[in-house]
Structure 1
Amino acid sequence: MPVTEHGQPLPGGFVAEVVRVGDTVRRTAPPNAGFVAALLRHLEPVGLAPRYLGVDERGRQVLTHIDGRVPWRDREEPAYFAAPALTRLAGLMRALHDACAGTGLAGDAETVCHRDLSPKNTVYRDSPAGPLPVAFLDWDRAGPGRRIEDVAFAGWHWAALGGDADPAELARRCRLLCDAYEAAGPGVSVPRSELVAVMLDQLVGTWRGIDVGAERNEPGMRRLRAAGVVELVRGWHGWLLRHRPTVEAVLEAG
């Protein structure tokens, strides 16, 4: 992409303007900019997010650029969704949640959740086991919540839903995420009996949020709706609702 006076646009963004300027990334500041800044500063020792460097003359967030690859095109390489990648993904989620549990950022909640975990918001680097996640991007929706929220969100973003997708495969991937998340440290279990219900709520919240935002004339939400994302996610919700018994049976059998 061409470099402009404001930086080199980075691919994949629908909602925020994201450009690279030297070794930094500049992003449109979210409504909860103060919380995101405090969260990224808190996570610096953990190393799973960009460092927050402040605000530039245009009011954009200034973040460190993280070297690696972001699979912003859907399903561009199966290795991004393979078992080693899912295992590392679960470890990163666990590190995030453990770092925030019991802090002022979490308040009365269990921890702080990213709430938008997807391959498009994940930086990968090559390893002998294949490409593995090393950091998460786009913290605009982060906030206090339950650990299961991020596990569930990752579950339906790192699996195929809808059409002729295999519901048992979705369950197996979710089970792998839960197993790896629990194995990353003692004292935490993921309530698997709740996982499908949380995913269904997230799918409804996703398509309705886009629809409402588009009606409010929010540019990012309008672009998402114009791209057919509302219909796509509604279809995923209907598919998961129909296949819920299969997914829950396979998930809990593990």
Structure 2
Amino acid sequence: MEQVCAGGEVLEGGNTSGPVVRVGDTVRKQWHRGAPAVTHFLHHLNRQGYEGAPRAFGRSLRGDQMLEYVPGTLADRMPPMTEEELRRLGGMIRRLHDLAAVYRPPSTWTPVWDVVIPDEREEIICHHDLAPWNLVRNGERWVFVDWDGAGPGTRMGDLGYAAHGFVPLHQGGDPERSARRLRALADGYGCDRAQREELPGAIARRVRGMYELLVEGAGTGRQPWARLHAEGHAEHWGPAADHVERHRGVWSAALLS
């Protein structure tokens, strides 16, 4: 694997994408097969004034992917979001999806994406890993990082994955309280009735899909999923998937009431 720029500050993260290094006001990551498409999509978001994504600077002379370094605190190091903050998050994701809906790659170029868990259909370009460990909060600015897995997907699949981490929808949670928080996220997004009906199933598919990916990686040796399985990640995702499925009726009732 290509060595990322030496001499910088190694940052946390990089579970699936290799080392992440800060050099001045930039972050350097390994160039991967989806990097050209991701860079072009980020340029689109940047041009539209979307502050929830880092600026993309293309490829360095060394061959690294270069992105804006965003100072702040990762959301998974902060207290759980309030319902008001969940509504703000929903609006932030809606803005992302609306801008993605009008994104068009050049007609002379076919983008190659690196989506790990494909959705059942392709509506828009999604982040696919909207989670507290990928949200940097710096005062009023909130920025999603780690776009390596971006690619075609569905609105509710992307929002459903975010719901797992931000509500959160984990084993041991209080279903009634979680349902209220899920509704706040959906309200902030502005979900219509069809999306509210779709969302519980989308959450279940995405969470179960993560568990199955880890199990498959353990069985085949496919990295980095085999390593993450060995580190115990499936012990979270399996029970979380069971929890989400067990309480689908609670989620639907809160979303549609």
Aligned 1:63-78 pairs, distance under 5 A:
63-72=67-76, 76-78=77-79
Partner of 1:83: 83
Partner of 1:46: 50
The change in CA–CA distance for 1:215 and 1:9 in structure 2 (over 3 A counts) is farther
CA distance in 1, matches of 2:32, 2:217: 14
| Unpaired segments ≥5 residues, structure 2 | 106-110, 112-120
Q: Equivalent of 1:251, from 244, 249, 255?
A: 255
CA distance in 2, matches of 1:213, 1:11: 23
Partner of 1:118: 131
Give the Å deviation of 1:40: 0.8
CA distance in 1, matches of 2:188, 2:170: 25
Q: Equivalent of 1:34, from 17, 36, 45?
A: 36
Offset from partner CA, 1:147-199 (integer Å, 9 cap, x none)? 2122111111112334431112222122111111118xxxx666111111111
Aligned 1:195-234 pairs, distance under 5 A:
195-234=199-238
Give the Å deviation of 1:28: 2.2
Give the Å deviation of 1:65: 0.7
With structure 1 as the length reference, what TM-score do the two structures score? 0.83
Partner of 2:196: 192
Offset from partner CA, 1:69-109 (integer Å, 9 cap, x none)? 1134xxx432x42123212211211111111213325x994
What residue identity is the alignment partner of 2:16? V
Matched positions, count? 236
CA distance in 2, matches of 1:38, 1:11: 25
| Unpaired segments ≥5 residues, structure 1 | 128-132
With structure 2 as the length reference, what TM-score do the two structures score? 0.82
What residue identity is the alignment partner of 1:120? W
CA distance in 2, matches of 1:112, 1:101: 7
Partner of 2:8: 7
CA distance in 2, matches of 1:167, 1:95: 28
- Identical columns (%): 35
CA distance in 1, matches of 2:6, 2:238: 40
CA distance in 2, matches of 1:85, 1:40: 24
Do 1:155 and 1:170's aligned partners in 2 also have CA atoms closer than 8 Å? Answer: no
